[in-house]
Amino acid sequence: MMKFFNAILLFFSLILAAQTKSEVYKIKYDKFENGKKTGGNTEIYVYNQMVFLSKPTDNIQQYIDLKNNYNVSTIKDGNTVFKKIIPFDSLPKPKFDNDNQIILGYKCKHARFSYFSNTIDVWFTEQSSVKGTPNSSYLPNKNALVLQLVFNGNYALTASAVNKENKYIPQLNYDDKTQEVSASEFEEIAINSRYKVVKIFDNEILNFDPNRIIPKESELETGKVYHFSKGSVVLKKIKITPELKNSAAVFAKLRCMSNGDAYDRTGSVFIIPSKKQGETTSLLDAYLYGIEKLPVYRDKKNSQYQGIVKENEYSPPIEILSFFTPFGVNYFNDKRKINNYNWAKDVVYKEEVSSLIPTDEDEIWIGVFIGNYDSGGHKISLELDCYPEMSKNDIIPKNNYIAPLFSTVNTLEMSGQNYGSLFANDTLKVNFEITADVSNLQLLYTTTGHGGWDGGDEFVPRMNKILIDGKEMFKIIPWRTDCATYRLSNPASGNFPDGLSSSDLSRSNWCPGTLTPPYIIPLPTLSKGKHLLEVVIEQGPDYGSSSNHWNISGVLVGQSKGK
């Protein structure tokens, strides 16, 4: 039996040795994890001194050109095909030893690569006229046929068959006229091709302009940019595209720089929810016609706060990014030069907002607010990056449940909306009702403290508590001690005699030039029906004419069942 097996292997080796340039060979590699076969496999083709590593349907095509001693990768972007070329002599270099093993009847040599802290063991033969490897980075030499790769000792590709193909000839999708780009440019094109970008705002200026004219409601159009509240708010109505509706993840990406304002300012990216059944007022009405359109919340001292909680006729905004501008990044870079301080050119904020995209809407209003009284203000760009499921078989329609409950972020500050300073004498109370069956119900709670004098709530830790139906669900002292990390985004920040800068100081859950992500509060036992939510904050006392205040927002999120 052994003689018969050896004869078969000898015959198989002779077949490979007889290959001509016009013959096509397919090499199949089985996949193993921790020594166990996974059931998956990889196939490559060898034809006319070219190794074809990709499926014809792959967005990125990869080739090994054994004739010209380089790897080629191509990608189509629009109507243009781009290619990058990596010469063999720039690939990772292996180390060889005297280990060997038999694979498919071949005595294979051993090479070891070390790359990006990974160890790759390669077993290869030089006896076959078929040459190639299933991974273009790991080819010991141009005369090698790699029959096994082992990554970090536990993941392996092992050749199980080498067969001559009679009916299939693989095709190149490039030629000498194909546009060549550098490896870094190719990587940029490849990454950008994997997800969709929904652009919202591009270099819009948010400033203080008391002469700005408010557009008429009858003139509002989808896709057009509008400025409100004396220039401090920019709004746009966008369509909920299939990418926004079905993506595995959606990230909001905001780019910001100073256009003349030197100070750190409160910023918010928000969605204005569509009016639900029975609701008569939205935040958009206040932008168009004034804050008098908003329902009023009164604290124990009868102070008025416009549009801060869920009411029968009104829903507050859905805050998707809470951010703070840095001290004058970009505009003041050359006005505050310090040796060895390489100021950032802008600040980019990026956060996942998948659970906050209203997937049951056709269109939504999305806006950005930066509170400032500067004529130059700030310049911003905003996009939503939509990342698909890894496999089309994984696509599951999302039915986001989104219920905004409160927001004291006064995006109408320049139109007279009050700051959230009620917590010194009162508890914020919100009556709400859950009318749908919701899985994975959570409260997203965002909180930042303000009062910018020594001893104000910006610089003093204060307890926050959330109660639902009288039961304490969450408590925390929100505090950031890492603000000095962002010094190079704050050129206009003042330097103190003790060596610190204003932007270095620890704060109540925010830093100049950073995001403040929400706390996630699981509510697995909260049932359908009516409930009472309370927010308790140990707000400090006022100082003369200066007052403390808290920017907080709360949104219930989950997945609606039965749709």
Q: Is the pLDDT of residue 14 over 60?
A: no
- Residue 8 confidence (pLDDT): 38
Supply the pLDDT for residue 7.
Answer: 41
pLDDT tens by residue, 303-330 = 999 999 999 999 999 999 999 999 999 9
Share of the chain above pLDDT 90, in %: 91
Sheet with strand 155-165: strands edge to edge: 95-103, 106-115, 118-125, 145-151, 155-165, 24-33, 36-47, 50-52, 60-65, 70-77, 80-87, 179-180
Q: Which of 270, 238, 268 is nearest to 256 (CA)?
A: 268
Instruction: Tell me what the pLDDT averaged over the chain comes to.
Output: 94
pLDDT for 561 equals 84
Q: Minimal CA–CA distance to 344: which of 232, 482, 492, 509?
A: 492
Say which range, 19-23, 209-213, 237-241, has the weakest mean pLDDT.
19-23
449 vs 423: CA distance, rounded Å = 11
pLDDT for res 395: 56
pLDDT tops 50 at residue 338: yes
Mind spelling out the 3-state secondary structure of 46-78? Answer: EECCEEECCCCCCCEEEEEECCCCEEEEEEEEC
Retrieve residue 231's tokens: 């220039």
Query: Per residue in 51-102, pLDDT tens?
Result: 999 999 999 999 999 999 999 999 999 899 999 999 999 999 999 999 999 9
Q: Convert the pLDDT of each residue in 104-137 to its tens digit.
A: 999 999 999 999 999 999 999 999 989 999 999 9
pLDDT bin (cut points 50, 70, 90) of residue 381 is very high
pLDDT for the residue 396: 61
Distance (Å, whole) CA 159 – CA 165:
16
* Structure tokens that stand for 102 in this block: 């038999």
Task: Identify the pLDDT of residue 6.
Answer: 43
Six-digit token string for 283:
């935040």
- Is the whole-model pTM more than 0.95? no
User: What pLDDT sits at residue 397?
Assistant: 65
Taking 50 as the threshold, does the pLDDT of residue 18 lie above it? no
User: What Å distances lie between residue 258 and 237, 324, 495, CA to CA?
Assistant: 25, 12, 19
3-state secondary structure (DSSP) of residue 73: strand
229, 366 Cβ separation under 8 angstroms:
no
pLDDT beyond 50 at 349:
yes
| Pairing of β 179-180 and β 80-87 | parallel
Q: What would the mean pLDDT of 200-222 be, rounded to a whole number? A: 97
pLDDT for 2 equals: 39
| Averaged pLDDT for residues 27-50 | 95
How many whole angstroms separate alpha carbon 307 and alpha carbon 421?
Answer: 14
**Domains identified in the chain and CATH numbers:** 2-189 (2.50.20), 195-560 (2.60.120.1570)
pLDDT beyond 70 at 176: yes
**Residue 253: pLDDT above 70?**
yes
Q: Pairing state of beta strands 233-239 and 318-324? A: unpaired
pLDDT band at 461 (very low <50, low <70, confident <90, very high): very high
Which pLDDT belongs to residue 394? 57
Other CB atoms within 10 A of residue 240 CB:
16
Residue indicated by tokens 């060997």: 100
Q: For 459-484, what is the mean pLDDT?
A: 98
Residue 21: pLDDT band (50, 70, 90) is low
